[in-house]
Structure 1
């Protein structure tokens, strides 16, 4: 354990763009500030119900399932769905498809304005527990929009739907759907993929089809850059990246940097395992590298620090050097405020070493706000918070699902109904883990922070809104528990988007605009 250090927390999580810009746009997966945060003078809804219609401006069925995020620019929304599914897409291992479609919708009504084909090269499991071909969120700069199909295709369109360019790319024999989310920088589109087959530095791909544990037969994955307006390759970041790493963007001494990881389950080939910080300049210089830590891409950075989870601990690293500033024990420690269903109230805080799970947190659900760091726990119905100054670890039990009885919201604390109904009515088959509660070994939606409110979304469509400024992490910090639809009919791995005082979210069957008024 490193010595306790007081962190200068003033100004953490600073905006990378202006408040005026933030009002109307959520241009990519990471949001307008590129850290999943939005600060504005506009109020955003915290309390709603899709099931009852409370504070829902509109809902629109989607042509097919998918779980990209939603890019927002003014009065236009961009997202990705699968092409229409048929019975022929069901094989011995379930529903596997490579082809997707990009969509542009009217932000005021949800009406589809135009769509485009995104032909894939390699099928991925539909509604996969972790990712599928629709996982990448579109990126827009207000003049163009870029779509990526994780099954092997990317394209650039004008905002009125004219294709500027499209290109295929090869995907790996396994783990071809990626956690890494595309972004724009310096006129380039960044995305993670293999080197081209003609590249002499590429490692040969010899793994058998869909072998998930190959230690020698996979080529390395790299973050690659493409000219945003032509699609021509411009650079390859040389250090390699695991498919488990979504990448975290920030600023160091005024330069844009990317935190990216290597390692994780299923023996990813990129070595050495650990985490690296690279500049996004022409040379993509490596700032520092920390080896031997199993971070698996659960990363977040602000203007001074990088934040990472290991198997047992939470690390605060100096952003400039990579050196450990704090190492806080997480596994087997902390306090829990549980809910007693028999008496209908929360109990007093108690020691939480009984929170035993192979996973400290639900994948991708970690986010920092000021001196606090939040995450969905690895155990069902548990949210976690770390006080970085005091090193206190707190857990709060939350309802599993919202139930509507006689038009009113009630909470179910342990029982739940799950179902991934699609917009077309197609029944997806495959990995049954997707129909679980959404905590633990699943890549849930990355939370967002809007005006110091954290929005967590589970696969069941349960949304927890947490006050990030609350001194005590107790029931009073839980601002609201909301739903994205009826139990058993709602399923999502998509993150929220926020723009113009509205929240946008999608499920496997529809897109939803949340906000007061109609």
Structure 2
């Protein structure tokens, strides 16, 4: 290895791997098909090697690996040590050979790279590639070419695209005109630069062919449409000055292109420091983020609760329809399932051995996304008890957040803990994330990311929040806190208070402004003032504007359409201007509304006025903005609501409150109390649990809220309800043109997100996560890899349409 480093210093851009003689052994799960011909150029057969998982569970994103060697040496074999571990993570790695300078000059080298990408796309069906997800990765001279693949588009028409969706640049030259070996000085003569690697590539010195040198430089080809970049460079690189990478990074970011520069301290031109777990973690995280579909935080990667994935719109755990796999869980839990590459993250409560009402400790889980098999689990202990399986939240409710290098778990009983992707603890803090908190990454960068969550300053007595904090000082107010993802150290706290039940979301406004909308006001006399909505700066937590709204119920999500943030206030829907913080438009969601309602004769459209129930007319956190519609659930009726945000038109669709399968396999639906054998008592004291919303009792039976061992794990009797009325809903999410509304009983309403009329034709399916009243969930559905991931009190579930049905 010492000899290898010496060669690197004396011969800049010489392949780091070319001196290695030992063949790297491949893992058992990885296979390689070598020397496949992808093109023939002037009698020169160009070959590539394909590394991939032996048994891929889905279409594989592809990383095209371009070797180094000063454009005159090297081969595709240098990819082997990197391809081995990347293929283990579900990628196909296509390591290419290209024409070297003893055979052809510029632009032959980049043209060969383009052709390799075309080969990947043409061969997608044969090899199981995902033709829509192709990245490039190169080292040294190969990084020079990879960077051009992400900045210099093929200049002519092409039948198959050669564009790549992400570029990893390891210590490559980015501007040939300023590369030291191409210029006289520091002991280099005219004769030296005439035989430099750059001159051999271009056929002349850069001084003689400056336009050609610019054409062959990524720095001179950067545009607004360039691919996202991860640039890694050694701080002691004597072959390619680090300024080459720094300038490319600066220009990319100035154009608004996502780019990260990670300087490997102490590293030279490649070497062992580029093969550490941390270095590999950067690459793995980068390509997973850009070439795989992920749901890396509770509200999705973009924080909008939506995904472009095409996923099943009908499914049943009870009948095993479109269920890829189902895994038993040892205990109740509520967090959504977050997905990053081939890993799932979620939480459960610590297992109990008898009926239980309270809990404090949770378990952090990492499972395989393809099989559900456990990769690792870790305890996250805390001290403040909360009610198990609460219909508003419990200790396990906040979803994990990951950037692909670290994953953070939140115990709402008072602990936040960060692990690396292998389950090694990085840091832990005794802080209280609100049970209904939906933590998110502030910026999604690979390095120096911040994590934002809703922080509680006081905890309930025996798991029950009272009204005693109504006049608490600002020092005890709930607010947003941003922490450094790598260290757990605080970065900022919001200057305004935040209600524990509101769902702040990271949003991007015009001109790239990063903001967060938050609300104040809710049940149990929260102290934060004034009631209403604020827009805060996501960079430092400062308040930009505040809109006071007396009696505001902030327990909702905050979506943006055009120049407005959409909110519900009492019995109205408001369009709030994001620039001024003023209300530009309002409509009633209760008075004389259009309802597509059910009767025994079928569906019919009618006008109806719904009761305005004080502070709220929607079920808490049951709303989501999808396209130009705002969807929500009525607080008093089994109605899904939809507002056209362009026209202001409002429609309600009545849906079955419960649905079950009869012994003969038919489906039976319960729409209202008239179908029940016994009337619902009018006196709350005579009802099974103390909820004022009558709709909560339209059910064949109470939910058993039981775990897999048959123990009832419930500290709030209202959790036995049907998933309508007074509770905090599982947050609806959207994918593939549909909106998914899971409810506490395990039913899932799937509606067409673009339907012209919001009548019964818009109800795509009433699916299920298990038998009604024997299934319990408060978790939203998440989407990745063409699949839906769900969890209930008993099961972790992967929903996927069989391949033969999708062909």
Query: Which residue is 1:8 aligned to?
Result: none
What pairs up with 1:308-319 in 2 under 5 angstroms?
Answer: 308-319=567-578
| Contact 1:62–1:424 (8 Å) recurs in 2 | no
Shift of residue 74 of structure 1?
Answer: 1.4
Distance 2:731 2:361 in 1: 24
What pairs up with 1:130-209 in 2 under 5 angstroms?
Answer: 130-169=392-431, 171=432, 177-186=434-443, 187-194=449-456
Question: Which of 356-365 and 206-215 deviates more?
Answer: 206-215
Matched, 1:335 2:594: yes
Shift of residue 217 of structure 1?
Answer: 4.4
Matched, 1:381 2:638: yes
Consecutive unaligned residues of structure 1, counting only runs of 5 or more, are: 1-15, 196-204
Change (3 A) 1:212 1:480: same
Distance 2:728 2:441 in 1: 23
Q: What is the RMSD of the two structures over their aligned residues, measured on CA atoms?
A: 2.4
Distance 2:595 2:291 in 1: 36
Query: Which residue is 1:498 aligned to?
Result: 783
| Contact 1:22–1:38 (8 Å) recurs in 2 | no
Change (3 A) 1:164 1:20: closer
Shift of residue 488 of structure 1?
Answer: 2.1
CA-to-partner distance for each residue in 1:371-396, whole Å, 9 max, x for gaps? 32111111242111112333222111
Shift of residue 180 of structure 1?
Answer: 2.1
| Contact 1:22–1:499 (8 Å) recurs in 2 | no
| Contact 2:303–2:440 (8 Å) recurs in 1 | no
Question: Which of 353-362 and 377-386 deviates more?
Answer: 353-362
Distance 1:159 1:235 in 2: 26
Three-state SS of the structure 2 residue aligned to 1:335 is strand
Question: Which of 290-299 and 448-457 deviates more?
Answer: 290-299
Query: Which residue is 1:110 aligned to?
Result: 372
Shift of residue 330 of structure 1?
Answer: 1.3
Matched, 1:96 2:355: no
Shift of residue 129 of structure 1?
Answer: 1.3
Shift of residue 304 of structure 1?
Answer: 2.4
Change (3 A) 1:64 1:86: same
Shift of residue 177 of structure 1?
Answer: 4.1
What pairs up with 1:54-69 in 2 under 5 angstroms?
Answer: 54-69=321-336
Shift of residue 423 of structure 1?
Answer: 3.2
Query: Which residue is 1:33 aligned to?
Result: 302
Consecutive unaligned residues of structure 2, counting only runs of 5 or more, are: 1-256, 259-286, 444-448, 673-698
Three-state SS of the structure 2 residue aligned to 1:364 is coil
User: Paired residue for 1:72, among 323, 334, 339?
Assistant: 339
Shift of residue 123 of structure 1?
Answer: 0.5
Question: Which of 186-195 and 358-367 deviates more?
Answer: 186-195
Shift of residue 408 of structure 1?
Answer: 4.1
User: Paired residue for 2:471, among 216, 223, 227?
Assistant: 216
In proportion to residue count, which structure has more strand?
1
Distance 1:427 1:497 in 2: 27
| Contact 1:400–1:416 (8 Å) recurs in 2 | no
TM-score by length of 2: 0.57
Distance 2:564 2:291 in 1: 23
Shift of residue 314 of structure 1?
Answer: 0.5
Q: Provide runs of 4+ in structure 1 moved above 6 Å.
A: 16-20, 205-209
Shift of residue 194 of structure 1?
Answer: 4.4
Query: Which residue is 1:84 aligned to?
Result: 351
| Contact 2:388–2:716 (8 Å) recurs in 1 | no
CA-to-partner distance for each residue in 1:447-477, whole Å, 9 max, x for gaps? 1111221000110111111111111110111
Distance 1:132 1:61 in 2: 20
Higher Rg of the two aligned structures: 2
Change (3 A) 1:272 1:400: same
Change (3 A) 1:432 1:396: same
Query: Which residue is 1:298 aligned to?
Result: 556
| Contact 1:132–1:177 (8 Å) recurs in 2 | no
Query: Which residue is 1:407 aligned to?
Result: 665
CA-to-partner distance for each residue in 1:79-135, whole Å, 9 max, x for gaps? 010001244x74xxxx01111111001111211111111111201100111011111
Question: Which of 370-379 and 457-466 deviates more?
Answer: 370-379
User: Paired residue for 2:501, among 228, 244, 251?
Assistant: 244
CA-to-partner distance for each residue in 1:297-340, whole Å, 9 max, x for gaps? 32322252201111121101112221212111112330112111
TM-score by length of 1: 0.87
| Contact 1:78–1:103 (8 Å) recurs in 2 | yes
| Contact 2:738–2:750 (8 Å) recurs in 1 | yes
Distance 1:22 1:110 in 2: 21
Three-state SS of the structure 1 residue aligned to 2:719 is helix
Question: Which of 148-157 and 379-388 deviates more?
Answer: 379-388
Change (3 A) 1:476 1:22: farther
Query: Which residue is 2:606 aligned to?
Result: 350
